[in-house]
């Protein structure tokens, strides 16, 4: 990170005109000290288990943080959209997995262009996707690696058996412009071990079909702490770990102190035991992510953000002393990854010091 360490201004007070210029509300604050600790701890955790780390940048969408992840030893990055991958390639990231079925003429053309300037891997789970990719790569003289996506219980994408995986891998292997590279899955939380077994079985089936399986890839921050070297899995794709959020605190995957991203908000009204914030569903997102309430207010542990309007957070206070109109509060959101998608920029801090301002370059669709 090229931001100055421990320089800058003291963190926001309602009446502080300097901070009012730096960070009006609602806005996102990201604490770099926490980010760096999260990056380092996860890099070590995976390295100790002999697994390549391929962090998912959908959580932050920031080239600088992707570079920090690479500098800490990541093998490359994972992206969920083609635009994220384009932004990462523009920023000089050279090894990119797009863990998604890429379909359609416009995206095929962009994918071929991208493959000319970075090592690109995509996933596929159907013959339609494979045939489309091969046609596009052949037509453009491009080449990409393809992982077969296996449904590990998420019921989202993925072939549904080891035999299907081997059949699709064989199709990929025979398709011009494509190189079969292995298998991947995204398990639902608390299914990491079952997913690892299913991936091992799919990898075996592919090997039995005579194919080289270089990569066996799983992911997800909730199960990151349970990941073990099993002699089969080769890489892991954690995303949310870099910021963490209220859902991960609730799952016991991290503590409140590990949460790097907060939404800075102003108290715009105090009504007895109720207060109203200027952060609503257009700032915190309405994503409950299995929780009750819409975020955790730092310093007001008993407060419940029980409802959101688009630009208002509706809060019932606990027994704490009410804040005043104009006070600024920081909210740990339920789900940091969707909050990233709601703001054009983040304000980087270190503890209570301003560090830098960054555009969320991979937000949007390009």
Binding site for a second copy (CB under 8 A): 14-15, 17, 20-21, 24-27, 58, 80-81, 100-101, 103-107, 125-126, 128-129, 132, 151, 155-157, 160, 266, 268-271, 274, 276, 278, 281-282, 285-288, 309-312, 314, 324-326, 337-338, 341-344, 364-365
Reduced to 3 states, what is the DSSP secondary structure of residue 183?
strand
**178 Cβ neighbours under 8 A, 6+ residues apart:** 130, 133, 134, 137, 143, 144, 145, 146, 172
The per-residue b/e assignment along 304-321, b for 16 or more CB within 10 angstroms, e otherwise, is bbeebeeebbbbebeeee
Q: Least distance in Å: CB of 87 to a second copy?
A: 14
Q: Least distance in Å: CB of 337 to a second copy?
A: 6
Q: Least distance in Å: CB of 355 to a second copy?
A: 19
Reduced to 3 states, what is the DSSP secondary structure of residue 346?
strand
Q: Least distance in Å: CB of 48 to a second copy?
A: 29
Q: In terms of CB distance, is 41 or 281 closer to a second copy?
A: 281
Q: Least distance in Å: CB of 287 to a second copy?
A: 4
Q: Least distance in Å: CB of 147 to a second copy?
A: 15
Strand partners, 79: 98
Q: Least distance in Å: CB of 267 to a second copy?
A: 8
DSSP H stretches of helix in 140-235 = 162-173, 192-208
Q: In terms of CB distance, is 125 or 223 closer to a second copy?
A: 125
CA 145 to chain centre: 22
Evaluate the omega torsion of the peptide bond into residue 18 and state whether it is cis, within 30 degrees of 0.
Answer: no
Q: In terms of CB distance, is 58 or 234 closer to a second copy?
A: 58
Contacts 24+ apart (CB under 8 A), 297-302: 297/329, 297/330, 297/331, 298/256, 298/262, 298/329, 298/330, 298/331, 298/332, 299/329, 299/330, 300/329
Select from 14, 30, 12, 32 the least CA-distant residue to 22: 12
Select from 94, 100, 134 the least CA-distant residue to 114: 94
Q: Least distance in Å: CB of 173 to a second copy?
A: 20
Select from 138, 137, 127, 200 the least CA-distant residue to 167: 127
Q: In terms of CB distance, is 157 or 227 closer to a second copy?
A: 157
Q: In terms of CB distance, is 10 or 229 closer to a second copy?
A: 10
Q: In terms of CB distance, is 217 or 276 closer to a second copy?
A: 276
Q: In terms of CB distance, is 194 or 286 closer to a second copy?
A: 286
Q: How is residue 4 written in tokens?
A: 């100055």
Q: In terms of CB distance, is 51 or 337 closer to a second copy?
A: 337
């Amino acid at each position: 990170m090229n931001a100055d360490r421990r320089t800058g201004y003291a963190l926001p007070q309602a009446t502080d005109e300097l901070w009012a210029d730096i960070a009006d509300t609602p806005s996102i604050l990201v604490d770099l000290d926490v980010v760096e600790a999260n990056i380092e701890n996860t890099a070590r955790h995976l390295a100790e288990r002999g697994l390549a780390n391929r962090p998912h940048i959908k959580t932050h969408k920031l080239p600088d943080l992707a570079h920090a992840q690479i500098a800490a030893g990541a093998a490359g990055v994972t992206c969920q959209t083609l635009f994220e991958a384009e932004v990462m390639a523009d920023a000089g990231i050279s090894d990119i997995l797009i863990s998604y079925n890429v379909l359609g003429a416009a995206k095929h053309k962009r994918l071929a262009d991208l493959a000319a300037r970075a090592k690109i891997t995509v996933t596929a789970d159907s013959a339609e996707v494979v045939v489309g990719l091969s046609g596009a790569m052949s037509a453009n003289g491009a080449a990409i690696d393809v992982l077969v996506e296996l449904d590990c219980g998420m019921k989202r994408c993925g072939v549904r058996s080891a035999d299907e995986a081997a059949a699709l891998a064989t199709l990929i292997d025979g398709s011009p412009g494509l190189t079969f590279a292995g298998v991947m899955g995204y398990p639902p939380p608390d299914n990491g071990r079952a997913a690892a077994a299913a991936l091992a079985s799919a990898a075996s089936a592919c090997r039995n079909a005579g194919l080289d399986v270089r990569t066996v890839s799983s992911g997800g921050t909730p199960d990151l702490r349970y990941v073990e070297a099993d002699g089969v899995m080769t890489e892991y794709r954690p995303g949310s770990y870099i910021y963490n959020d209220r859902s991960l605190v609730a799952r016991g995957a991290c503590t409140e102190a590990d949460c790097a991203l907060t939404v800075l908000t102003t108290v715009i009204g105090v009504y007895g035991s109720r207060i109203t914030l200027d952060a609503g569903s257009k700032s915190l997102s309405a994503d409950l992510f299995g929780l009750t309430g819409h975020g955790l207010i730092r310093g007001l542990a008993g407060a419940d953000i029980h409802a959101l309007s688009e630009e208002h957070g509706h809060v019932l206070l606990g027994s704490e002393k009410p804040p005043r109109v104009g006070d600024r509060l920081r909210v740990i959101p339920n789900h940091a990854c969707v909050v990233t998608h709601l703001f054009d920029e983040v304000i980087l801090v270190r503890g209570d010091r301003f560090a830098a301002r960054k555009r969320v370059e991979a937000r949007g669709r390009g």
